[in-house]
Amino acid sequence: MTLLDGKKTSETIQDEIAAEVAEIKAKGGKVPHLAAILVGNDGGSVTYVNNKVLACERIGFGSSLVSYEDDVTEEVLLNKIQELNENAEVDGFIVQLPLPKHIDANKVLEAIDPKKDVDGFHPTNVGRMVAGLPAYLPATPAGILQLLKRYEIETKGKHCVVIGRSNIVGTPMSILMSKCTYPGESTVTICHRNTVDLAHHTRQADILIVAVGRPGLVTADMVKEGAVVIDVGTTRVPDATRKSGFRLRGDVDFDNVADKCSYITPVPGGVGPLTIAMLMANTLRASKREVYG
Ligand SMILES: Nc1nc2c(c(=O)[nH]1)N[C@@H](CN(C=O)c1ccc(C(=O)N[C@@H](CCC(=O)O)C(=O)O)cc1)CN2
Ligand SMILES: [Mg+2]
């Protein structure tokens, strides 16, 4: 069994980006700038946004963080998005999800200029991804593709089972794995809350990607011998022995599943860190106008 080291891969990718930024700076080019909008103080969201800002600092990007209380109005958010759309200094920006219930997340995401949509959540980028046109790919699926590629995992003709159909991970992942480019060329099955006999499907997976946020959902009896298992879940569960009061648990029962796998991602240190690296990669592409010219 080989552990897919997302932390190390993320650092490698960020080092590659940092080297390119240093070159851009040496040539007097524009320094890439990422802005992030955070609403409320959900522990996970605050951590992720802070990590995004820290990553910018580490690799030499400019960054700005716009924070709002969780009772901010949709109108205020939409006005800020308009401002960021028009701000030439900002190459790309994101709105951290989830948003509070009183805000229409789809309306907010649709207000972002697709050219600056470095999360790849705008319908224009989703559509372009589906059509195989240049697009910003959502960071988590893009990170999983990088893991498969950098560990040279064969995907052609394999059966890839994706559990979860979120717009952030499951749906784009399933599309990307079926594309006729590497990593891809897989036969894809999508499972979700209404799937009958989940284990019947997962046992047929050569590549199993789990993104539902249900700790320990995938147990050893559900996994085929030699499978590649990618665990996207990072649920905070109470743990009194930790200073933070919680620990992270993946969707896969790692301790029992790992022995059966050819490759598996740990939680933490698997897919999560790649999400940050690929957001940085998208921001660099935005500053170079690589997607839309
Ligand atoms: N606007 C967005 N919102 C959300 C996204 C996104 O890509 N764009 N994805 C997730 C959250 N997320 C980034 O935003 C994210 C999740 C997990 C990690 C990560 O590094 N996890 C670490 C553990 C970190 C910790 O201590 O909590 C790991 O798995 O090792 C980074 C980013 C939902 N919202
Ligand atoms: Mg889902």
Catalytic residue among 96, 116, 146, 251, which?
96
Domain annotation covers residue 183: yes
119 carries an active-site annotation: yes
Instruction: Print the domain residue range for 56.
Output: 25-118
Q: Check whether 80 has a pLDDT greater than 90.
A: yes
pLDDT at 293: 85
117 in contact with ligand 1, CB cutoff 6 A: no
Residue 90 pLDDT grade (very low, low, confident, very high; cuts 50, 70, 90): very high
**E strand or H helix at 271, and its extent?**
helix 271-287
Do 90 and 191 have their domain in common? no
pTM here is 0.98
Per-residue pLDDT, averaged over 58-74, amounts to 98
Query: What are the Cα distances from residue 207, in Å, to 23, 130, 139, 157, 163?
Result: 38, 21, 19, 11, 11
116 carries an active-site annotation: no
96 carries an active-site annotation: yes
CATH number at residue 62: 3.40.50.10860
Q: Which atom of ligand 1 is nearest to the CA of 279?
A: 7
Q: What mean pLDDT is reported for the chain?
A: 98
Q: Which atom of ligand 1 is nearest to the CA of 94?
A: 1
Domain count, the chain: 2
CA of 163 to the centre of ligand 2 (A): 8
Domain annotation covers residue 20: no
Residue 259 pLDDT grade (very low, low, confident, very high; cuts 50, 70, 90): very high
Record the tokens describing residue 227, joined without a space.
Answer: 């499978």
pLDDT at 231: 99
> Model confidence over 16-50: pLDDT tens digits?
999 999 999 999 999 999 999 999 999 999 999 99
CA of 230 to the centre of ligand 2 (A): 16
Catalytic residue among 52, 115, 116, 158, which?
52
Do 250 and 219 have their domain in common? yes
> Model confidence over 179-237: pLDDT tens digits?
999 999 999 999 999 999 999 999 999 999 999 999 999 999 999 999 999 999 999 99
